[in-house]
Structure 1
Amino acid sequence: MAGRNGLFVPGPTNVPDRVLRAMVVPMEDHRSPRFPALTRDCLEGLKAVFKTSTATPFLFPSSGTGCWEAALSNCLSPGDMVLVARFGQFSHLWVDMCHRLGFEVQVLECEWGEGAPLERYEAALAADTAHRIKAVLVTHNETATGVTSDVAGVRRAMDATGHPALLFVDAVSSLASIDFRMDDWKVDVCVSGSQKGLMMPAGLGVTCVSEKALEARRRTARQPVCYFDYIDMQNQNRNGYFPYTPPLPLLYGLRESLAMLAEEGLENVFRRHAYLAGGVRAAVQQGWGLEVCAKQPQWYSDTVSAVVVPAGTDAARVIDRAFRRYNLSLGAGLSKVAGKVFRIGHLGDCNELMLMQAIGGAEMAMIDCGLPIEPGSGVAAAQRHWRAHEAEASGTTGGM
């Protein structure tokens, strides 16, 4: 098919040409005297993205799922209790991993489309007077439903109850796209990956670990760990190396991606994502007369919108039609929302005209599948939103 595929799933995202070029490198000796400069550039650049001056970033050859396992295995002991809210597919998968690794899991069940239930977190922590809960887990941005949760609010709940548990945050689809504050929110482990806001191919598990969590690894944690051992990684990273062969081209790509984020300015990156997300939601709600899966505006995600199709419509048909007829990739509904939503990713290397492609293609696919959508209605609504909010995007660029 002529032309490029329109990639608007919420990850992997579009990789900028600059990053692609940076990754085209010959292989080299990852034990050479010059290699540490690359390692240090990546790790120091990540500190700014995590907004930390005290925590330690690590890079594992994995996806974000590997970093989930690293957090649990490094900081906990067999049979420890964890507290976690389940409100989408990815928070569910973290719960599933906890069970499979042998932890006791207290699950706060929520309706999909809601965010982290702050009052229920606080109540559960207050009731745990024996401090059996060793870690509190929260998904910052639930990719399946397009919901962003208040991590700072979870920290406030922990502080209000004086609970000493560690705080683990999944920021896979929010890091470098939605404001995240490792130090301010006293996050102990943040889990992310290379293929979303960092504008990279998949393959790097990106995580950041507080000194409190590292101390737990050194002194109290008894869960078996090998490949994902924080201490092995820290000992080698200290000298600019890795405990095993690193994915060299991805490190060069990450250094370029971090440079691009610094050039745009992280706060501008956040504003750009909010601005673009507003246009997509305008297309959905004002143009098409549909709704997003997020139940309240306070939970609207700036990186992905899950579009709810009318009852009796199979969203999978819309996704299939968009791909086969228009070469447009939209995100599928997962688990409880399978067939009920399709997802538009609007994160990473993205701008208005790129998103016009997603909105226009989705419109055509929906019309082809029998939905009563007026041609051009979503595109027009997005145009009106972005033109009316031009000032919010000043100083930012997309499609870098």
Structure 2
Amino acid sequence: MATKVIVNIPGEESYDVRIGASALDSLGRRMRGVPALGQAERALVVTDSNVAPLYRDRAKESLAAAGFRTSDIVVPAGEDTKSVEVAGELWEAMAQLKLGRDCVVVALGGGVVGDLAGFAASTYMRGVTLVQAPTTLLSMVDSSVGGKTGVNLAAGKNLVGTFKQPAYVCADTGTLATLPEREWTCGCAEIAKSAVIDSDEFFFWLVDAADALAAREDGAVSEAIARSVVFKADVVAQDKTESRGVRECLNYGHTLGHAVETLAGYGTFSHGAAVAEGMRFAARLGAELVGASADFVTAQDDLLDALGLPALAWSAEPAALLDAMKRDKKARRGQVRFVLPRDVGAWELLDVDDAVILEHLDAWARSKE
């Protein structure tokens, strides 16, 4: 039984997110029901070397059955693929295929593929239609919805990108059966982040469902994805281009998390593990600066533990971490900004002085000894 969530964003066409165990088999037919795709003739499936052997043929068969002339491009799996160089190779390949502005790009894979293919779709011929077909838990609950695309630079993650809403999102939960545990918990971190920022109702549902979600029980998985999509869609609807401060709540845990990824080396820890560490840090910072309670800090720690996201046994020099935070795109006027929780469902966006950050980073590093 599929679940449908409708994403309504001011100034954009609404789009459906379909969540279900066989959603990929109806991909082409559902796309034909989208006005922006009804007359499209060409479909380009962009996927990676891990996903292609598993799901590329199913996606292409569904598209062909709906009358699309299909092509595919397979990029190497891994974070290194999310680069300007690979984006350039995609543009050249799309031109060699003689794709026009009436084509549709289908991003089949996890967050790397979704961000890269979305960036290529938003820039090729100044923009062609995009469909997201996420195959990881993280991409289903986060990157496939909301319209952010991007590539990494040596200086940091996602420093080049665009906003490009998809015309349709096909979240086939059956693809999660092949997901390694590292990638599974990566998605769980994003669900936990959403629950903490959203509401008591979501948070305490997740506390109760944590064991079932960690065990990948179908009902809990579909419910967690749907709740996360509804939460993110509501936030994006209020702040489509992250210009009003509302959407920045989605960065909870990412300030330290991105610094950890940068200093440890991309791929050393999963994105989710780094974000979970950032959530633990931000909760403790929030206890000092905005009045988060000790009970909140403990409840969040317990939830992350239950979801298979223990504290990292890793640290770095506080000064190096602070420097990485300052180079992140979320910094403003040389000040590091944190999303700090006061409680579940209540948060503040705060510029934090360097001295305060360094004090807490020192304490964080000592806790790892």
TM-score range, shorter chain: 0.3 to 0.5
Q: TM-score, normalised by structure 1?
A: 0.41
More helix by share: 2
